[in-house]
Amino acid sequence: MRQTSLWNDQWQFQIEGAADWESVCLPHTWNALDGQDGGGDYYQGKAWYRKRFLAETPWEQVYLRFGAVSKRAEVYCNGQLVGSHNGGFSAFTLELTPYLRQGENELTVMADNSADLPIYPEYADFTFFGGIYREVELICFDTKAHFDVEAFGTDAVLITPDVTGTVTMQTTLTGNGLLRSEILDEAGAAVAAVEEIVSAGDHVTRLTVPQPHRWDGTAAPYLYTAQLTLSSAGKELDRFSDSFGFRDYFVSPSEGFFLNGRSYPLHGVCRHQDREDMGWAITEKEHMEDMSLIRELGANTLRLAHYQHAPFFYHLCDREGMVVWAEIPFISGHDPRPEADANLLQQLRELILQNYNHPSICFWGIANELGIAKETEAMLSITQRLNDLAKQLDATRPTVIANVGMTVPESPLFHITDLTSYNEYMGWYTGSADDHGSFCDERHSRIPEIPMAVSEYGADCLLQWHSAQPKVQDYTEEYQAIVHEKAMAAFNARPYLWATWLWNMFDFAADGRDEGGCKGRNNKGLVTYDRKTKKQAFFFYKALWSKEPFVYLCGKRYLKRAAEKIEVKVYTNLPHVALWVNGHFVGEQDGNTVFLFPDVPLRMGFNELVARTPEGCMDSLILERVASEPEEYVFKESKNFSSAVAQWFADVSQEPVSRELDIRPGYLSVNDSMELIYSVPEGYKAVQELVIKALAIDNPGAAKRMESGGALSFTDLWHHIQKQLPDEVYYLLNERLNRIPKP
C-alpha cells in the first residue's frame, strides 16, 4: 500500500550565509516582498530549508515529491546528496530509502534562484520567485511493486482517450502483480474494466467506454476517472486515479477553433501564478479565487503563461471546461550554453508528461517572443528540437509559439510549430488602438496557411489615474478599457483568428518595472495584484462574454468631474439600458455591450447616476461636479534615474543635445534594427557607451535584454527603458549613429 502525507509544516529556512534559521511552512518563497517592491534587486541566490523528522515505521520504499522548487534544488538527507533538480515549475520525486536511519533524521534542501544559472526563464518581464513554493509530499510504500513514482516526477500513467470510446493507458510498474483498470463515470459507476497479470516495466492497457460523454468546454466539461489498482495475492499494492475527458478539436487557418465538431471561438486571458505579498507561494484558496474571477468574466480559454502552473490549477481548468495553452519559460532570448538547451528539453518533457491527462490542455507552447533577441542558428535549432520532442511525447496535441509583433513573417519562428500567434500591443507599445484589425489582416495575409491567434494584447492601468480624453500610456482606467474595446471589436470581426488571450487577467510582480507611478509591477491586469479590485475593463469583458445579466456604470474611481456635460459609458450584456441623473430620465438605448450616453448634464456638487435595464438590473454612481479638472487623476511622468545615471550622463554628453530626430539616408539611426546597429563596431560601441552602461548601473536585467539585439529597432526597445534614462540619450544616440554609414 501507498501512504501519502503532506510535508508542508515544521520547516526551517535561512538565506545562505544568514546567522539564524526561521520557522516556515510551505509553500514558501523568500521573495514575497522584495520581489514586488521594484528596483529589480530582489534576492536571487541560494537559500536553505531543513526539516527534522522521525523515521520509525520500517517502510519498504520512501519517496519525497516536490511540487516545485525555484529554480534549482539539491536535496540532502542526513548530510548525503539524494538528488537535484533544475527547473522551477515542474514536480520531481526522489527516493529517500537508502539515506534514512531509524529514529531522528534531517532533510536539507538547497534552493537557488541565482540569475546566472543555465535554467529558464533567464530574461522575462516577471519576478523569478525563489523557494519551495509548492507542496511537498512524503510517499511511503510497504512494497517494492507500485506505479513508478519517480519516472517523470509524477505517477507515470498516461491516459489517451479517443472519442470513439477507446482509452489507452500507458503505465510503468516497478513490480509484478494483477492490474485492475477501471473507468468510472461522473456518478462514480464503473463503465469499463479489465484485469491483467502484469510484470515490472512498461505496460499498455486498452478499454472501451460505450457512447462516451464529451468533455465539451465550459458548457459541459464531463470528466471520467481512470482508476488503476495493482494487487498481489489479494493484497492491494498501489492505486492510481486521475480524471480525463473525451474531446476532439482542430484549428482551421481560415475558420478558427472547432471543439467536438462545431465552431468554438476561443476568447480568454493569460494568467501568471503570483499574488500580492505571497509571490508564487499560493495555495488552493488563491487558485480557486483566480478561477472564480476568470469564470465571472466569461472566458473560455486560458494561456497559462509563461511556465508550468500548479497541478491543482490544471485540474480546475478541466473541471471548468477551459481550453488551455500550457507552456515552458523559453522567453526572449537563447542561452547558448548546452546545459541551458538541455534544461529547455527537460522542462518541456516534464510539462507534457506531468500534465498529459488534462483534457483542458489543447496546445503545448514551446517559446515566447524569441524574436525580440537575435535569431541565431542555435536558437532556431533548439526551437525545432523542442517542437520535435513535443510531437514525439504527445502525438495528439498541436504545438504553438507566441511571437512578438515585430517578428517578420519570413522568420523561421513562424514555421516550426503547428499553430502560431502574436503578442501585439497596438495602442500601447506601438501603433494605435485602432490598428488591431489591420495588424492581424496584414500578418494573416502573409502566411494564411498557418492558423494565427493573438496570444497577448493590452495596456497598463493604475486605479488612481483617470481622464475624459484618455490617451496612450496615460495609465488611466479609461484608456485601458478603450484598448480592450477596440481590440475585441477588431478580433470578433476576424473569424480566422483561432483564439485571443488578453494580457493579463491579473496585475503581477515584475520587480524591474517602474511604471505609471508604481514600482515592481506590471499593471496590465483586469484585476489588481491583491485581487481586491476589478478594473473598468473587467466589466467590458464580462458584458461581452458572460451570460449572467448585469449592468455596470463606468467611472467608479473617477468621481470628480469639472465638465458641465459628460459622456457616460455603460457596459451590459443585456440589449437595452436607460439612464437617469438626479432622478431625471436622460435617455435609453438598444445596443450591444458598450452603451454611450453623450452630453449628460451635471449640476455643481453631487449627482446621482442610475443605469437600469428592463430585466431589473441596476447600477448607480455618485459624481461630484467641481470647478476645475482635478490634478489628482493625472499621472505626471517623472524620471527617476539614480544620481549615478545622472553623473554618467553628464560625462557622456558634454554638449547640449538637440531634440530633433534626424534620419540621414545611408547612415544608421535609432530606427534601424539592433542587429544592423550591432553589425558595425562603432554602432555597437555607441549603444554600449550611451545606453547599456547606464542601464547596467540601474537595471542589469534590462541591460542584458538590450544586449541581445535582434530584429527590433532601438526605437522599439526605447519605450521599455526610457524611464530610466534622460530623454536626451535617445537623440544623442541617434546623432552618433547618424555619423556611421550603413553596412
Does 716 participate in binding ligand GCB (rule CB under 6 A)?
no
Task: Name the nearest CA neighbour of 170 among 157, 151, 153, 183.
Answer: 157
Distance CA 117, CA 114 (A): 6
Q: Which is nearer to ligand GCB, 677 or 712 (CB)?
A: 712
C-alpha angle with apex 629: 623 to 631, nearest 5 degrees?
110
Q: Is 393 exposed, middle or buried (0-12, 13-18, 19+ CB in 10 A)?
A: middle
Phi first, then psi, for residue 8 (nearest 5°) are -95, -15
Nearest approach, Cβ of 508 to ligand GCB (angstroms)? 8
Does 503 participate in binding ligand GCB (rule CB under 6 A)?
yes
Question: Which listed residue (113, 171, 368, 699) binds ligand GCB by CB under 6 A?
Answer: 368
Nearest approach, Cβ of 306 to ligand GCB (angstroms)? 6
Question: Which listed residue (65, 134, 521, 524) binds ligand GCB by CB under 6 A?
Answer: 524
Instruction: Write the binding mask 304 to 323 for ligand GCB: x where contact by CB under 6 A, - elsewhere.
Output: --x-----------------
Distance CA 617, CA 491 (A): 28
Does 456 participate in binding ligand GCB (rule CB under 6 A)?
yes
Tell me, by CB under 6 A, how many residues bind ligand GCB.
10
Q: Is 539 helix (H, G, I), strand (E, B) or coil?
A: helix
The catalytic position among 286, 327, 350, 369 is 369
Instruction: Write the binding mask 603 to 642 for ligand GCB: x where contact by CB under 6 A, - elsewhere.
Output: ----------------------------------------
Question: Which listed residue (31, 301, 346, 423) binds ligand GCB by CB under 6 A?
Answer: 423
Q: Which is nearer to ligand GCB, 242 or 716 (CB)?
A: 716
Does 122 participate in binding ligand GCB (rule CB under 6 A)?
no
Does 125 participate in binding ligand GCB (rule CB under 6 A)?
yes
Nearest approach, Cβ of 82 to ligand GCB (angstroms)? 35
Q: Is 703 helix (H, G, I), strand (E, B) or coil?
A: helix
Catalytic residue flag (residue 588): no
Distance CA 654, CA 102 (A): 73
Does 403 participate in binding ligand GCB (rule CB under 6 A)?
no
Nearest approach, Cβ of 641 to ligand GCB (angstroms)? 20
Does 417 participate in binding ligand GCB (rule CB under 6 A)?
no
Question: Which listed residue (522, 573, 613, 734) binds ligand GCB by CB under 6 A?
Answer: 522
Query: Which positions from 568 through 607 interact with ligand GCB, judged by CB under 6 A?
Result: none
Does 480 participate in binding ligand GCB (rule CB under 6 A)?
no
Q: Are 641 and 724 in contact (CB under 8 A)?
A: yes
Distance CA 419, CA 325 (A): 11
Does 424 participate in binding ligand GCB (rule CB under 6 A)?
no
Does 181 participate in binding ligand GCB (rule CB under 6 A)?
no
Cell of 232: 498481489
Nearest approach, Cβ of 35 to ligand GCB (angstroms)? 15
Sign of CA pseudo-dihedral 293, 299, 300, 305: negative
Return the residue nearest ligand GCB (CB atom).
125
Does 369 participate in binding ligand GCB (rule CB under 6 A)?
yes
Cell of 149: 513514482
Does 514 participate in binding ligand GCB (rule CB under 6 A)?
no
Q: Is 226 exposed, middle or buried (0-12, 13-18, 19+ CB in 10 A)?
A: buried
Phi first, then psi, for residue 145 (nearest 5°) are -100, 115
Count other C-beta atoms under 10 Å from residue 625's C-beta.
17
Phi first, then psi, for residue 593 (nearest 5°) are 70, -65
Nearest approach, Cβ of 111 to ligand GCB (angstroms)? 23
Give residue 43's identity as a one-letter amino acid code: Y
The pairing of beta strand 190-198 with beta strand 177-184: antiparallel
Among all chains, which residue has been given the C-alpha cell 530633433? 660
473: left (phi over 0), alpha (psi -120 to 50) or beta: left
Q: Is 88 helix (H, G, I), strand (E, B) or coil?
A: coil
Q: Which is nearer to ligand GCB, 67 or 365 (CB)?
A: 365
Q: Which is nearer to ligand GCB, 429 or 731 (CB)?
A: 429
Nearest approach, Cβ of 461 to ligand GCB (angstroms)? 12
Count CA atoms closer than 13 A to 635's CA, side-chain side.
23
Q: Which is nearer to ligand GCB, 125 or 716 (CB)?
A: 125
Query: Which positions from 644 through 673 interact with ligand GCB, judged by CB under 6 A?
Result: none
Q: Which is nearer to ligand GCB, 126 or 240 (CB)?
A: 126
Q: Which is nearer to ligand GCB, 112 or 456 (CB)?
A: 456
Q: Which is nearer to ligand GCB, 379 or 570 (CB)?
A: 379
Phi first, then psi, for residue 413 (nearest 5°) are -60, -20
Distance CA 359, CA 349 (A): 18
Q: Which is nearer to ligand GCB, 93 or 368 (CB)?
A: 368
Q: Which is nearer to ligand GCB, 153 or 405 (CB)?
A: 405
Q: Is 17 helix (H, G, I), strand (E, B) or coil?
A: coil
Q: DSSP state, 642?
A: -
Nearest approach, Cβ of 647 to ligand GCB (angstroms)? 30
The number of helix segments (H) and strand segments (E) in the chain equals 14, 40
Contacts with ligand GCB, residue ranges (CB under 6 A): 124-125, 306, 368-369, 423, 456, 503, 522, 524
Q: Which residues are catalytic, by number?
A: 369
